Structure 1
């Protein structure tokens, strides 16, 4: 019997479930991994060239301050270097935000279902995750979130667009919510999928950072920029919070290659925006196909769609896997499918009638735009 003494509270933390990986050997044709919201396009030539130029320097530690990338981000957003804090993907940035603001017994508040890592990261920080159910149409219930604030609340996460449902928050409703949040509570607007959000009245996180002294914004290079494998994201935060984030950040946590790739990607944004536009068109094709099949999906403003299938989730995931599509199921709730290569999207569209048929007639239309 092991005598190792570990943190007992870790027993309450479920393991993170990554998107199912495509098999290395294909036996019945291509298998598409549409479970992790990855960008299906390969890196741009200019980005790979920039990475290649830095390979000769990987014997050295990366620059912790990331001076060059920070300067680019400061110019873009009109902020100071103290406001920019990098991390190994936005998930690590969110972890920094939790560890810098909350401790034992403090509360971290967010909608649920939302990003799967939120409750795990909160408990790992020693805090209590407070999960406020989404509305019936799979959106943030900001009124309920405001009512859930207590004297122990230290951090509020607002994921916009929300992962995994793809739903969004409008400018006026977010402004109203933030005006009601006590100013000592940090509010993080997680904009991991902001580039895909074409809602007309979508709030812009950086504007709220300027308007409210307790607001921070989290961004990633994993999705629209296609750098998921490089692991780099950043927060734009008030100066006091930025200083605290650096204290809990992993030393040398963002590699030199990741910094280089991010700078090159920012310089090639016109090409990347064209790719995002194509994915948005594909997203709308998928949504339209399910609507035609009789399963109206919630709005989707990310690079994925949410199928609210309830008890039919497992059967739908198995059906899709048999046809070479590995999705991200949430048992009893629904599944998320990334908008990916056109061939993968075509398969999903072709299977829409069969998936809709798995849902009981009374549940066939759970949410409309």
Structure 2
């Protein structure tokens, strides 16, 4: 019989972590399932992406371009960036891990709002750093409070905009004021995984904030609006010297050749991506209005999901939806995140929500 003494010795930090657990598939009594938990796009592969993937099949026995030169050049040309200021990674979460391990050592602090992207505390503890969480104010980043929590040990600050799981976003004026308060030695990471779903005029494109701010890095992903969640590809943009250092923490070949080719094809499918995000944002408005008409109160979302601040009833609501075959993301004691799908998916969710009292 194996005992704990027989096992390898792991880092103490791992004892504080819980592995990421996706929601289990849910089935209705009729055998139907509606996947509204993972913030994925409900659309299948873009036509250009499907063709690019097919063309890569014959060369997958070869290693990918470790520098991602073609994708980097495409991103630079499309967004008006310097190629030296772009770093690729295994999804934006992979790049986030590179950033933390590049700047934080044991005893250093990583600051972020809470609740926010659940990978932040996991990645911080894995790096041996100390997570510092600042509560949201009415579901939105309290940037003034976050600035006050910055100390001489703070090495990195995450600002998830729009925020996951609440969908809320902060505007340009607030962000610029906050960036002006962050000391030069502290890195600010503006996580824009859901940028393509933003429709509010005052929420900036983070790339437009980079000029003159070497302590700012913007994260983007191809997992959401571009529909490449299964291929794991993302990138960071920032000052070339900062990005050059970041590349040293890159796990070699983690941005695969199929993912790189698919990302280029996705970027070249801008019109179709815009059409698809318009469908999702229209559904966002429709579902939010339907919930509010039935007495639900929820924050304004600029992402491809809605947030129901149910507090202690979150788990019960998640189970209630699951019984109807609707899989949502329940955060115990806090709320429920519901991804926007196609109209039929969203109607199934609304039908389930109708039979659960909003308060």
Normalising by structure 1, we get a TM-score of 0.94
Q: Please point out which of 117, 120, 123 is paired with 2:122.
A: 120
Counterpart residue number, 1:5? 9
Equivalence map 1:1-369=2 (5 Å)? 1=3, 2-21=6-25, 28-135=30-137, 137-355=138-356, 357=357, 359=359
* C-alpha separation in 1, matches of 2:21 and 2:80: 37
1:230 aligned counterpart, secondary structure: coil
* C-alpha separation in 2, matches of 1:344 and 1:172: 37
Counterpart residue number, 1:364? none
2:168 aligned counterpart, secondary structure: coil
Quote how far apart the aligned CAs of 1:332 are: 0.9
Q: Retained in 2: the 8 A contact 1:115–1:164?
A: yes
* C-alpha separation in 2, matches of 1:310 and 1:210: 40
C-alpha change, 1:57 and 1:310, in structure 2 (3 Å) is same
* C-alpha separation in 2, matches of 1:45 and 1:144: 45
Cα RMSD of the aligned pairs, angstroms, is: 1.3
* C-alpha separation in 1, matches of 2:194 and 2:26: 23
1:228 aligned counterpart, secondary structure: coil
Q: Retained in 2: the 8 A contact 1:311–1:333?
A: yes
* C-alpha separation in 2, matches of 1:258 and 1:15: 25
* C-alpha separation in 1, matches of 2:212 and 2:172: 13
More divergent stretch after superposition (149-158 vs 43-52): 43-52
2:291 aligned counterpart, secondary structure: helix
* C-alpha separation in 1, matches of 2:62 and 2:26: 34
C-alpha change, 1:122 and 1:307, in structure 2 (3 Å) is same
1:229 aligned counterpart, secondary structure: coil
Q: Retained in 2: the 8 A contact 1:312–1:358?
A: no
* C-alpha separation in 1, matches of 2:24 and 2:110: 28
Quote how far apart the aligned CAs of 1:114 are: 0.1
1:74 aligned counterpart, secondary structure: helix
Q: Aligned residues, how many?
A: 355
* C-alpha separation in 2, matches of 1:154 and 1:146: 13
Quote how far apart the aligned CAs of 1:22 are: 5.3
Q: Retained in 1: the 8 A contact 2:296–2:358?
A: no
Quote how far apart the aligned CAs of 1:200 are: 1.3
Q: Retained in 2: the 8 A contact 1:99–1:125?
A: yes
Moved over 4 A (4+): none
Normalising by structure 2, we get a TM-score of 0.96
